[in-house]
Structure 1
Amino acid sequence: MKSKILFVLCLLAGLMFINAGLDKFFHYMPAPKDMPEKMVKAGMAFAAIGWLMPLVGTIEILGGLLLILPRTRALGAIVILPVLTGILLANISIAPSALPITFALMAVVGWVIIDSRTKYLPMVS
């Protein structure tokens, strides 16, 4: 039962990351109308750096795909963790209204990391 719940949560989180990554390339999701001015300026600054958003989008797509597949879930959690940390810090400092979904994604990725901790031991020993 635990593995099925984890699979569903990883599937949802992975699809969210894939969707966010694809939006970095195709810009099909409109920006929220109530987005704080600081967040709009930060987004424009990141977009001005030509290579940054495609890199983040690629990492989100790759991490989302790896998170969905049970065999590569541990790698996907590690790949997506830096992006998720940046999302968390941006939401804490600029847009706290998005924190609930960020905490939900952090919980899923944290669960995968804790559940896969034996796979990470060779990297740190």
Structure 2
Amino acid sequence: MNSKLTLVVRILLGLILVVFGANKFFNFMPMPPMEGAPGEFMGALVKSGYMFPLIGFTEVVAGILLLINKWKGLALIFAAIISVNIVMFHLALAPAGIGLSAVVAVLNSILMYANWNKFKTLF
């Protein structure tokens, strides 16, 4: 795969993960109010006391690893776990926000395909 394309995709995914992960700690992009099942789900994650910080930490670590181009395999596995859960949340509970979650999943898929030699032993 084109190395310039993978560089752009890697940096873009890394930035998205770092920004949205850091937002879970510093709340510089306030979350819009959610009602019903999405609000209850997010409220439960926040009330657990550990889940939001764990998700944010995982996003930041994966994003930084992608940005500095170290341990890409580990970073992409972390990002895959995150992106699958984001997509499932939006498919099941908040379909209006599926756009960014689909972008994250596609970027992650492109990078996993480009680095398939690191993952083929898993399958």
Q: C-alpha deviations, 1:2-46, integer Å up to 9, x for none?
A: 21122112212211111111111112211225x453222211111
Match of 1:48 in 2: 47
Match of 2:18 in 1: 18
- The 1-side partners of 2:105 and 2:68 are apart by 18
Of all paired residues, the percent bearing the same amino acid is 24
CA contact (8 A) 1:63 1:80 kept: yes
Partner of 2:30, secondary structure, is coil
Match of 2:117 in 1: 118
Letter in 2 for 1:26: F
Letter in 1 for 2:18: I
Using the size of structure 2 for normalisation, the TM-score is 0.87
Partner of 1:5, secondary structure, is helix
- The 2-side partners of 1:29 and 1:8 are apart by 24
Q: How many residues align?
A: 123
Letter in 2 for 1:93: A
CA contact (8 A) 2:9 2:111 kept: no
Letter in 1 for 2:100: I
- The 2-side partners of 1:28 and 1:37 are apart by 24
Using the size of structure 1 for normalisation, the TM-score is 0.86
Structure 2 segments unaligned to the other structure (5+ residues): none
- The 2-side partners of 1:101 and 1:108 are apart by 10
Summarize the alignment of residues 33-72 of structure 1 with structure 2, pairs less than 5 Å apart: 35-72=34-71
Letter in 2 for 1:66: L
CA contact (8 A) 2:6 2:114 kept: no
Partner of 1:28, secondary structure, is coil
Q: Over aligned residue pairs, what C-alpha RMSD do you find? A: 2.0
CA contact (8 A) 2:65 2:75 kept: yes
Match of 1:9 in 2: 9
CA pair 19-121 structure 1, distance change in 2 beyond 3 A: same
Structure 1 segments unaligned to the other structure (5+ residues): none
